[in-house]
A and B are shown apart, each in its own frame.
Chain A
Amino acid sequence: MQEIKVYGVWGSPFSRRVEIALKMKGVEYEFIEEDLENKSDELLMYNPVHKKIPVLVHNGKPVVESSLIMEYIDETWKQNALLPTDPYDRAQVRFWAKFIDDKIMASVGAALLSKGGDISKAKEEMQELLTVLESEITKNKLFGGDKVSFLDIIGLFVAYWVPIVQDILGNHVLTRDKFPGIYEWADVLLDDAFIKKNLPDKDKLIPILRSRFGVKP
């Protein structure tokens, strides 16, 4: 009997990645909602170094960091592969996953969320990085072609969360007219029945993010 637990937070793009990956493979799991102001003993035990969600615990063994958890899930449950089989293609996916997680995400934080520093420079940087991503997108397709794949799941942060955060903060860098390719990809991705079902509802998410960013309703 397999025991699979996911420690996460309802509105977090990172714990959604893990849940979506497990669901795509038809793997059942128990979700444990963490209060980030009051982290559970289990979370601190399973992720002593960073003390962050998400954590996947499989038969008592923890795996941390959302993209690493996704690789673990793909290696453990082989049905509905998330990554391509060819090593070169896998290297391309890993390159772009790092690009989104290491570069784009950091720039989003600096450009949209930070109070200090050079905001205009940060916005310029975010724009440049999105331009690079734009060049990688193929018209009317997902990163996985016709089906949702590893990179699409990683990219949900850009497709779903960034536009919502931009609206809340009134600060828009990623726009449809400047980045038609990214928006087309996002449209296809967010229209996918399975993905739609597994994203946090906007109406519930917005007030949570508002309070997180200290924005008055």
Chain B
Amino acid sequence: MGDEVEVRVHGMWASTYSKRVELALKIKGIPYEYVEEDLMNKSQALLEYNPIHKKVPVLVHNGKPIVESLVILEYIDEVWPDHAPRLLPRDPVDRARVRFWSGFLQNQLLESVLKLVMSSGEEQEKALDELHEKMTIMEQEMGDIIPKDISSIQSKSLGLLDIQVICTLGAYKAHEQVLGVKILDPHKHSLIYAWVNAMMDLPMIKEITPPHDNVVNFIQMIFKINPSA
């Protein structure tokens, strides 16, 4: 594994953060080598590339490591500006808006999803309500960032926020199956419902999406949820 390979990603197939990086590279048509990490037995390379957090994903570009998925995505956008699509818009006000929502999707939406999966009973009901509140805020405040004309959605028009939403809510059906709750209701959150499903239907996204059953098994295993409960 020398440095003849220009772009390498150290990731894990079920990691939402790792998926962001792979999606960004695929969408932009940047070839890369992928290294699947066993998080119970991390490679020496990973520990050297990310000594502080020891986490995936790591992007290694010409031998130099970049860590933290959102930092990596901005890096990718800056290093390959001519590979459409742009993950962030050009205008500074729009860029600031996208970064704001990126933070919201990371700190509020994803946090709520994680809370939901890790809790049960009354706690879980609260977590679900919280998640739905965040989704309502998104629909009320994101404005034209959420595409209204879903027929316009194509892989060459995806950006940073689309990627985050795919990686956070894309597997909602698997989550709903394991947890027995309704996460994405077309009547409650019609815009997000349409947005997520339109993106998950894209051929490029289907290609990179792990099989439903694998995701179900993973959620059950990681969070030790009894499938027959």
A residues near B, CB below 8 A?
Answer: 48-49, 58, 61, 63-65, 68-69, 71-72, 75-76, 87-88, 90-91, 94-95, 98-99, 132
In the assembled complex, which residues on chain B have CB atoms less than 8 Å from the CB atom of A69?
A: 96
Given contacts A49-B104, A91-B71, contact A71 B99 (CB under 8 A): yes
Contacts A61-B93, A87-B75, A87-B79 supplied; 4 other A-B pairs, CB < 8 Å: A68-B100, A75-B95, A90-B78, A99-B52
B200 contacts the other chain (CB 8 A): no
Given contacts A64-B100, A68-B100, A87-B79, contact A95 B67 (CB under 8 A): yes
Smallest beta-carbon distance B74→chain A, Å: 7
B100 and A94 contacting across the interface, CB-CB below 8 Å: no
Given contacts A68-B99, A71-B99, A98-B68, contact A91 B74 (CB under 8 A): yes
Q: Which residue of B lies closest to A85 (CB)?
A: B78
**Which residue in A48, A88, A99 is a CB contact (below 8 Å) of B66?**
A88
A65 and B103 contacting across the interface, CB-CB below 8 Å: yes
- The dominant DSSP class at the A interface is helix
Q: Which of B67, B72, B92, B141 has the most C-beta atoms of chain A within 10 angstroms of its own C-beta?
A: B92
In the bound complex, how far is the Cα of B52 from the Cα of A68, in angstroms?
24
The total of Cβ contacts below 8 Å across the A-B interface reads: 54
Q: Which residue of B lies closest to A58 (CB)?
A: B93
Q: Number of B interface residues, CB 8 Å?
A: 22
- The dominant DSSP class at the B interface is helix
In the bound complex, how far is the Cα of B68 from the Cα of A90, in angstroms?
13
In the assembled complex, which residues on chain B have CB atoms less than 8 Å from the CB atom of A71?
A: 95-96, 99
Smallest beta-carbon distance B3→chain A, Å: 15
Given contacts A75-B92, A91-B66, contact A49 B74 (CB under 8 A): no
Given contacts A68-B100, A90-B75, contact A132 B52 (CB under 8 A): yes
In the bound complex, how far is the Cα of B54 from the Cα of A132, in angstroms?
13
In the bound complex, how far is the Cα of B76 from the Cα of A94, in angstroms?
14
Given contacts A48-B141, A68-B99, contact A63 B93 (CB under 8 A): yes
In the bound complex, how far is the Cα of B142 from the Cα of A48, in angstroms?
11
**Which residue in A65, A68, A91 is a CB contact (below 8 Å) of B72?**
A91
A49 and B141 contacting across the interface, CB-CB below 8 Å: yes
In the assembled complex, which residues on chain B have CB atoms less than 8 Å from the CB atom of A48?
A: 141
